[in-house]
Amino acid sequence: MKSMDLTQVGAGREVRVSRLECAPGTCQRLREMGFCENALVKKIRGGADMVCWVCGTRVALSARLAKQILVEHVDGLS
């Protein structure tokens, strides 16, 4: 499957995190927020500040952070 960053996903789509491409400290913080490898993420709203549903929680992210989260479409849902 082809990976893309989270900013490239349309609102309302569910994707799976394939990997994080960031500095170790930033990656650790993203994982603590629920954006770990294989986690399911639903993008609720896009834009400069986006909102996602991950691990049962709504999380707001900057586009800068979202570009560091690489995702893949979930089979059968996209």
pLDDT tens per residue, range 7-18: 999 999 999 999
Task: For the chain, give the mean pLDDT.
Answer: 92
Confidence at residue 32, expressed as pLDDT on a 0 to 100 scale:
94
Domain count, the chain: 1
Is residue 78 assigned to a domain?
no
Full-prediction pTM beyond 0.85?
A: yes
Q: Judge contact between 9 and 53, C-beta under 8 A.
A: no
Confidence at residue 67, expressed as pLDDT on a 0 to 100 scale:
95
Is residue 60 assigned to a domain?
yes
Q: Judge contact between 53 and 42, C-beta under 8 A.
A: yes
Is residue 44 assigned to a domain?
yes
Domain boundaries, position 23: 4-73
Q: Which residues of the chain have pLDDT under 50?
A: 78
Confidence at residue 78, expressed as pLDDT on a 0 to 100 scale:
45
Confidence at residue 47, expressed as pLDDT on a 0 to 100 scale:
87
- First-to-final CA distance of the chain: 12
CATH code, domain carrying 33: 2.30.30.90
